[in-house]
Amino acid sequence: MEHQSVLVVDFGGQYTQLIVRRCRELGVFSEMVPWRKAEGRLREAPPAAVILSGGPRSVLEDGAPAIDLGLLRGIPTLGICYGLQLMARLLGGRVVSAEAKEYGKRVLGWVADGSWLAGLDSPQVWMSHGDQVAEPPPGFRTVASTDSCPVAAIEDRSRGLYGVQFHPEVSHTPSGREVLRRFLFDEAGLVGDWTSEAFIEETLESVRSEVGEGRVLCAVSGGVDSSVMAALLTKAIGERAVCVFVDHGLLRKGEAEQVRETFTRVFHPRLLVFDARDRFFESLRGVTDPEEKRKIIGAEFVRVFEEHADQLQDCTHLAQGTLYPDVIESGSETAATIKTHHNVGGLPSWMRMKLVEPLRWLFKDEVRSVGRALGLPEEIVEREPFPGPGLAVRILGEVTPERVRIVQEADWIFRQELRNRGLHRGIWQSYAALLDVRSVGVMGDERTYQQPIVLRAVESEDAMTARAKPIEFEVLEAIANRIVNEVPGVNRVLYDLTSKPPATIEWE
């Protein structure tokens, strides 16, 4: 089935992935393409609509990112921030470096009657720009302004061209969803035919075509991503989907046993379990660099699979629960490598199996929706995200069985206390991390020189951005007291208040 699609041209903006997500939330399939590849994509398969993203560059610079707007003729197009400025400059308008730069919340003080933005519930918008449009191009009219941005939005309905200086994709623009809905449905005439059910149907067909008569090794961890992936593969090819759980010794307390029980109870296929704890600890001996840890873990997974080839019945493909944020953070043409995910850039080049990644372009909330549509229970669908390398990226410095034990115990206390108080609801991710330093303390009138634990709990929608969960001081104090009293080797507990960005959700 061919869907109407929106092509989001990425000029390197920090919110570009959110544009894609918001369109999909509205039921419209959307994909992102780097601006350097956009012209080829437009010639190859013109989409139903185009959105030009924001970006860090200035359209006034020599060599600023741009595309041939002639390729957009007849295609409804919305320019956001840099996208608006690029459209205005290339079509004959005037863009200037603003005297008063706008960052943060602003109010649309004026919106033109009868325009595509008329009657929004909230005039509050989120701005982040240094340049701005001084004069719109011929044929356009200004339809909104703020006190410091006279041209906050424009339209040329006869050509299906629209632009906003603010960012409708972020939650700080309360009516942003409505702005995008109006563009997609009222102005571009799309119908919204992208659903979880449609994704499942098409993915099943795609997997069967890609795999043929081969067998697929489904690497499962018990998390929502790998569980949904395994459910899809099992539905697509039945027993030729061979589900494997590798216990690498880097899971949370009691998690290996929980994974085996839950997975076999819910899926009913034969689950192969390989105990590889000793080999993973040996391969990580003396390693402290986080990127090296991830690559070692990715390579060891593949070695375990290949060493059990007989049990795996000569699997020709390896299926993983890779998600879109994994791909973005592992580096792309427009995004720097933040951290190499063990299942993306961490896999070895010598791997013989072919990769199958049915969830590669989905956000976490979309994966949860697919899981529900497949009939998976809430205990799986709502499970907190857990990194594939496990506690190895929550232990700064060398990974040893003793340091893993410390993190497991502290993590168990932290999450147990949150659950007991009902504070786990609304948390995207919560965990304990162990720092690679020691500090002086006093216990039982004696000097200690032990390690600090950092607690982190964040709220997020899609892992692309996050903020620290507000937890009352008395609760944090009670948790800290339990950890230093019950976990040998720890004499200090900290709480991480940093948002993403500038930090990441995980410590490594």
Q: Spot the catalytic one: 3, 25, 81, 300.
A: 81
* Alpha-helical regions (H) of 212-242: 224-237
Q: Spot the catalytic one: 25, 102, 155, 169.
A: 169
**431-442 burial, b if ≥16 CB within 10 A, otherwise e?**
bbbbbeeeeeee
58 near 14, Cβ under 8 Å? no
Q: Spot the catalytic one: 102, 129, 155, 167.
A: 167
Q: How far apart are the first and last CA of the chain?
A: 41
Active site residue 23: no
Across-strand partners of 319?
Answer: 218, 356
398 near 435, Cβ under 8 Å? no
Crossing angle, helix 224-237 and helix 255-267, to 10 degrees?
30
221 near 250, Cβ under 8 Å? no
């593969």: which residue's tokens? 233
E strand or H helix that includes residue 476: helix 473-486
Q: How far apart are CA 307 and CA 275, in angstroms?
A: 12
DSSP string, 404-438: HHHHHHHHHHHHHHHHHTTTTTT-SEEEEEE-S--
Active site residue 169: yes
Q: SS3 for 450? A: strand
Active site residue 308: no
The residues that are catalytic are 81, 167, 169
